[in-house]
Chains A and B, each alone.
Chain A
Amino acid sequence: MVKGVEFILNRKRVRVETDDERMLLWVLRTDLALTGTKYGCGEMQCGACTVVIDGKAARSCQTPLKEVAGKEVLTIEGLETNGSLHPLQRAFAEMGALQCGFCTPGMIMNAYALLMEHPTPTEADIIGGMEGNLCRCGAHTRIVKAIKAAAPEMRGGRK
């Protein structure tokens, strides 16, 4: 049913008028013109569409819009602050933790939520936490390293 849904998107209040059963992924990519969040499988099997909702990683391909009403949604586009890259973004770019880059926004958003939950993650925490995110290019070794490298800075207060 078409409804007005309000939520906080990348720290700004937004309101979308659309069928509130629609999945957040498509609302982000079309109505809100934020194409950083990617489609990879549509069935919560790849993590390409990962966003952070109220501090937790969520697969936007299976999150109906109505579920985010009143909540805080963070997408890859909202990670930079005052034009400077988030430590995770910087670590991914500097350490070559990406190749084609298609899985990257989902990887970073998933890692963001992971580090919020485990500020001092072990390698096992990282691997366990990232298990649902697929990368066909095989950037895994470097993704793990990049997440490890970004952790201290995030602990240092940069959110």
Chain B
Amino acid sequence: MKEKKGFSPGRRRFLKGLGGGIFVFFAFGMLPAQERPRQGRELPADFNAFLRIAPDGRVSCFTGKIEMGQGVVTSFAQILAEELDVPVTSVDMVMGDTDLCPWDMGTFGSRSTRFFGPPLREAAAEARAVLIGLAAERLGVDKGQLVVEAGVVRDRKNSGKRIGYGQLGRGKTIERHVTPKPSPKRVSDYKVVGKATPHNDGVAKVTGRATYAGDVRLPGMLYACVLKPPAHGAKLKSVDTSAVEGDKETILVRDGDLIAVLHRYPDGAETAIAKIKAMWDVPRSDLDPKTIYPHLLKVAPPGETVSEGGDLKAGERLARRTFDATYRDHYMAHAAIETHTALASFKGGRMTVWASTQNPFGAREEIAAALALPAEKVRVVAPFVGGGFGGKTFNVQAVAASRLAKLTGRPVQVAWRRDEEFFHDTFRPAGLAHIGSGVSGDGRIVSWAYDVYFSGPRGAGQLYAIPNHRELSHGHYTGITGAHPFRTGAWRAPGSNFNTFARESHIDMTASSLGIDPVEFRLKNLGEKRMAAALTAAAERFGWKKGATPSGRGLGVACAEDAGTYVAAIGEVDVDRTSGRVRVKRIVCAQDMGAVINPDGAAAQMEGALFMGLGQALTEEVPFKGGAVLVKNFDTYEIPRFSWLPRIETVLVENNEVPPQGGGEPPITVVAASIGNAIFDAVGARLFDLPMTPERVKEAMAGRRAKS
């Protein structure tokens, strides 16, 4: 630990503004890159989180991360309480406020606990040492003689000598910097951590008291609805606003491309916007769910190598049998139940915005750029976020609210209606993967040529011990100009959720053609022990009985490595041969995610990911015609619901040798593949397209009949 001196006056003012106390700064995960233009309040780049022990003894942790259901607000507080010996109720998490928290890259699934957990524990332990040191000085007692209970330090030999954490600063501001060193093995000493703990945000959420962006109220605030084009890329030709102009209750705003109505009620704004008649120029486009694939292949950039090894040509010569297939994936929506929402207030030249965002600092930059404000004049606060899944990374709604607040001088809320949410979403892109592989006479895969288009490289790297292989990724999930008819972006385990489907379907097809049991075939071709252990654990829990596919049992296997975690799933399905409907009856998932901070939370995240994956596997697809999105609400975009509920079983493969890895994303990657393979096992028809809708299942079955 080292003490740092010479911080700028701005920083000092900032710490004083928080009310003083003892501050412990530390870093975790990825730090802001040095060359990043530093905007806003000056913050050094060697920390991105800090603790404050306030004069009243409360402990706060400040981080730019946000809570969107992944449970970090609980696991972080648990860690702090444990290490500092304070009750969990005196720990506050201050998250996602750009004025109070150090810069953060944004909260993307699976990263927070993985990168934050161990350093937070270390930082808290260091902070405790600092506090004990201060107490020893104040009490004139040797450090070794001091014990801490519920935030009070006392002399073991003389209980009259005691002092609370809060009094140690003597009203001064004390700063310390620590460099935490992760020490995963100490996980075995955890008392609070590693035990099932219910969400401490749970009570706020079950009573309706939890505040989301849409629940913030300011005096004089207005609710806005923004005119939405019929398609992406459409240009406004003319607009007739006469129907709302006479309405005293409604404020009409027209500012360049932005046309909005503001009302003191959200429903009033919705009624008003419907009265505006607009004519649009919609660009001609032939893109639809069929033509998109040849189009994507045509515009795809050359591939970038994800991984490679050996000599592909030599491998191909060794192959006795070859397998060649293309897998396809459609556009998908994030469809969080909370739509994108923001409330902006512009006062004294400063913009404050409460936004449902996974990326408050990114939102601040978007807003500052759009309004030509310096970033330090913009404050973004992310209260509880009602689900993100990668979809709340961009902040179109927050920019709109800010523009309207500045134009009208009133606080303005913009909350997308569901059809707007389906329109403005950054969809998970349509993509393709082509695989050409070869197998030797003894059932080993000897060559593997993989090309993925537009889904992204994550999960494309080789999982199996294949001597000759190369994996190329063409274009990223964020797309390139002219590729997609609308904006695309990350979706829970981006790339991985499709690459795994392609690879594991292909592996399964190979095993089946060779007449080898799919678990056995994988184990034979896997090199990584952690992967083999996860697969074996899943097979054991499932009660796997050997058999080549299709066996008619309706069982399917899939494996993946994602976010540092090894995950395997076995699914069991029923296929209705007449309707083509697939019912998933059971899904067993085992994962080695390194050390586990909160096992119950990890299991909950796994269950959630597995259940969400059913939608990707079976129904979720965004229909479109050019830039027009043809889905408006949940009746035409079917997400998993209660009646789909299979028996879900999760297994954590204990591995305290490895620091915590991703937990909330990896399980989703194996769902579609295990179900696709289970469908094949049930009816002998293989599906190459996601989602595996009843129509596609019937088509695949008919194709099989036609061939045989």
Which chain A residues have a beta carbon within 8 Å of chain B's beta carbons? Answer: 22-23, 26, 29-30, 33-43, 45-46, 48, 75-77, 79-80, 85, 88-90, 92-96, 98-105, 108, 126-128, 130-131, 133-144
Q: Given A26-B265, A102-B387, check contact A46 B207 (CB 8 Å).
A: no
**CB-CB contacts of B170-210 with A at 8 A, as 1s and 0s?**
00000000000000000000000000001101111111111
If the complex has contacts A127-B642, A127-B645, are A102 and B337 also in contact, measured as CB distance less than 8 A?
Answer: yes
Q: Are A48 and B267 in contact (CB under 8 A)?
A: no
**A80–B208 CA distance with the chains assembled, in angstroms:** 11
Complex contacts, A38 vs chain B, CB 8 Å:
212, 214, 337-338, 386
Nearest B residue to A107 via CB reads B206
Q: Tell whether, in the assembled complex, residue B338 and residue A134 are in contact, meaning their CB atoms are under 8 Å apart.
A: no
Indicate if the CB atoms of A75 and B386 lie closer than 8 Å. no
| Subset of 27 A-B contacts with CB under 8 Å | A30-B266, A36-B208, A37-B208, A38-B386, A39-B339, A40-B337, A40-B418, A45-B418, A85-B207, A94-B198, A98-B206, A99-B608, A100-B385, A101-B69, A101-B204, A102-B386, A102-B387, A130-B642, A131-B641, A136-B336, A136-B639, A137-B69, A138-B610, A138-B611, A140-B640, A141-B645, A142-B607
Contacting residues, chain B, for A80 (C-beta < 8 A): 207
8 Å CB contacts to A: which residues of B584-641?
A: 600-601, 604-605, 607-612, 633-635, 639-641
In the complex, chain A residues whose CB is within 8 Å of the CB of B202: 92-94, 96, 98, 101
**Which residues of B are found within 8 Å of A100, using beta-carbon distances?**
68-69, 336-338, 384-388
Known contacts A98-B199, A98-B202; A140 and B642 CB within 8 A of each other: yes
B417 with A42: CB separation less than 8 A: yes
Q: Is the CB of A93 within 8 A of B198?
A: yes
> Which residues of chain B are within 8 angstroms of A89 by Cβ–Cβ distance?
203, 206-207
User: Are A134 and B206 in touch, CB under 8 angstroms?
Assistant: no
In the complex, what distance in Å separates the CA atom of A11 from the CA atom of B223?
Answer: 29
Q: Are B337 and A77 closer than 8 Å at their CB atoms?
A: no
Collect the chain B residues with CB atoms within 8 Å of residue A26's CB: 265-267
Interface centre among B199, B208, B217, B601 (most CB of A within 10 A): B208
Q: Which single member of A33, A41, A141 contacts B634 (CB below 8 Å)?
A: A41
Question: Which has the most chain A C-beta neighbours within 10 Å: B71, B209, B387, B417?
Answer: B387
Q: Is B147's beta carbon under 8 Å from chain A?
A: no
Closest to A103 in B: B337
Q: Give chain B nearest CB distance to A99 CB in angstroms.
A: 3
**A2 nearest CB across to chain B (Å):** 11
Q: How far is B418's CA from A48's CA once the two chains are assembled, in angstroms?
A: 12
Inter-chain CA distance A137–B601, complex, in Å, is 13
What is the bound-complex CA distance between A139 and B206, given in angstroms?
A: 14
Q: Is the CB of B207 within 8 A of A134?
A: no
The interface residues of chain B lying within 8 Å CB-to-CB of A36 are 207-209
Closest-by-CB residue of A relative to B201 is A101
Tell me the complex Cα distance, A113–B540, Å. 41
- Given A76-B207, A101-B204, A138-B612, 16 more contacts at CB 8 Å? A22-B265, A34-B208, A35-B217, A36-B208, A45-B635, A75-B208, A76-B206, A92-B206, A96-B600, A100-B384, A101-B206, A102-B336, A127-B643, A131-B643, A136-B612, A139-B608
Residue numbers in A under 8 Å from B209 (CB-CB)? 36
Cα A108 to Cα B210 with chains together (Å):
15
What chain A residues lie within 8 Å of B605 (beta carbons)?
99
Q: How far is the CA of A159 from the CA of B601 in the complex (A)?
A: 30
Nearest to B610 among chain A residues (CB) is A138
B335 contacts partner chain A, Cβ-Cβ < 8 Å:
yes
CB distance from B478 to the nearest CB of A (A): 22
Residue from A46, A76, A100 with most neighbouring chain B CB atoms (10 Å): A100
B267 touching A22 by the CB < 8 A rule? yes
Task: Give Cα distance in the complex from A127 to B647, angstroms.
Answer: 13
Whether, in the assembled complex, B215 has its beta carbon less than 8 Å from a beta carbon of chain A, the answer is yes
**Interface residue B141 (Cβ < 8 Å from any Cβ of A):** no
Taken together as a complex, chains A and B put the C-alpha atoms of A29 and B389 apart, in Å, by 26
Is B70 an interface position by the 8 A CB rule? yes
CA distance A132 to B214 in the complex (A): 23
Inter-chain CB contacts under 8 Å: number: 181
CB of B648 closer than 8 Å to a CB of A:
yes
| Chain A residues touching B, majority SS | loop
Complex Cα spacing A77 to B206, Å: 9
Q: Which size class do B's interface residues fall under?
A: 35 or more
| Bound Cα distance A39, B278 (Å) | 27
The 8 closest A-B pairs by CB, nearest first: A36-B208, A102-B386, A100-B69, A101-B205, A138-B611, A99-B69, A93-B202, A138-B608
A77 to B205 CA separation, bound complex (whole angstroms): 11
B415 proximal to A (CB < 8 A):
yes
CA distance A40 to B589 in the complex (A): 30
- Please judge, given known A-B contacts A41-B633, A42-B417, whether A98 and B205 are in contact too, CB under 8 Å: yes
Task: Assess A136 versus B337: contact at CB under 8 Å? Given A94-B198, A100-B384, A100-B386.
Answer: yes
Give Cα distance in the complex from A127 to B388, angstroms: 25
A22: chain B residues within 8 A (beta carbon): 265, 267
Over the window 637-675 of chain B, the binary record of Cβ atoms lying under 8 Å from chain A Cβ atoms (1 yes, 0 no) is 001111101001000000000000000000000000000
CB-based contact B210/A96 at 8 Å: no
- Per the bound structure, the CA–CA distance linking A75 and B627 in Å amounts to 40
Inter-chain contacts of B608 with A (CB < 8 A): 99, 137-139
Q: In the complex the two chains form, is B208's CB within 8 Å of A76's CB?
A: yes
Chain B residue at smallest Cβ distance from A100: B69
- A20 to B463, alpha carbons, bound, how many Å? 61
Q: Are A135 and B267 closer than 8 Å at their CB atoms?
A: no
Q: Could you tell me the distance in whole angstroms from the C-beta of B412 to the nearest C-beta in chain A?
A: 14
Question: Do B640 and A41 touch across chains, with their CB atoms under 8 A apart?
Answer: no
C-alpha gap A80/B467 in the complex (Å): 63
- Whether the pair B415, A101 counts as a contact (CB closer than 8 A) is no
Contact B643 A77 (CB under 8 A): no
Residue numbers in B under 8 Å from A140 (CB-CB): 607, 611, 640-642, 645
Residues of B within 8 A of A85 (CB): 203, 206-207
A93 adjacent to B336 (CB under 8 Å): no
Of B202, B211, B266, B388, most buried by chain A (CB within 10 Å of CB) is B202
Contacting residue for B633 out of A45, A79, A137, CB 8 A: A45
Report the minimum CB–CB distance from B221 to chain A (whole Å). Answer: 10
Residues of A within 8 Å of B388, CB to CB, are: 100
Using CB atoms, name the residue of chain B closest to A47: B337
Tell me, in angstroms, the Cα distance from A137 to B334 when the chains sit together.
Answer: 11
- A39 and B214 contacting across the interface, CB-CB below 8 Å: yes
Least Cβ–Cβ distance between A125 and chain B, in angstroms: 11
Please report the C-alpha to C-alpha distance between residue A100 and residue B611 in the assembled complex, in whole angstroms: 15
Contact of A144 among B267, B336, B612, B645 (CB under 8 A): B645
- The answer to whether A134 and B641 touch across the interface, beta carbons within 8 angstroms, is yes
Max chain A CB contacts within 10 Å: which of B70, B212, B384, B604?
B604
Chain B positions within 8 Å of A101 at CB level: 69, 201-202, 204-206, 210, 384, 386
Measured between beta carbons, the chain B residues less than 8 angstroms from A95 are 198
User: In the complex, which residues of chain B have a beta carbon less than 8 angstroms from the beta carbon of A40?
Assistant: 337-339, 418
Chain A residues whose CB sits within 8 angstroms of the CB of B204 once the complex forms: 101
CB of B641 within 8 A of CB of A136, answer: no
CB distance from B456 to the nearest CB of A (A): 22
Q: Is the Cβ of B387 less than 8 Å from the Cβ of A137?
A: yes
A48 CB to nearest B CB, Å: 6
Contact indicator B217/A33 (Cβ below 8 Å): yes
The answer for the CA separation of A105 and B648 in the assembled complex, in Å, is: 24
- Contact assessment for A99 and B604 in the assembled complex, using a CB-CB cutoff below 8 Å: yes
Q: B265 to A141, Cβ gap below 8 A?
A: no
A79 to B610 Cα, complex, angstroms: 31
C-alpha gap A103/B204 in the complex (Å): 13
Report the separation of the CA atoms of residues A75 and B207 in the bound assembly, to the nearest whole angstrom.
Answer: 10
Residues of A within 8 A of B633 (CB): 41-43, 45
Bound CA span A40–B417, Å: 8
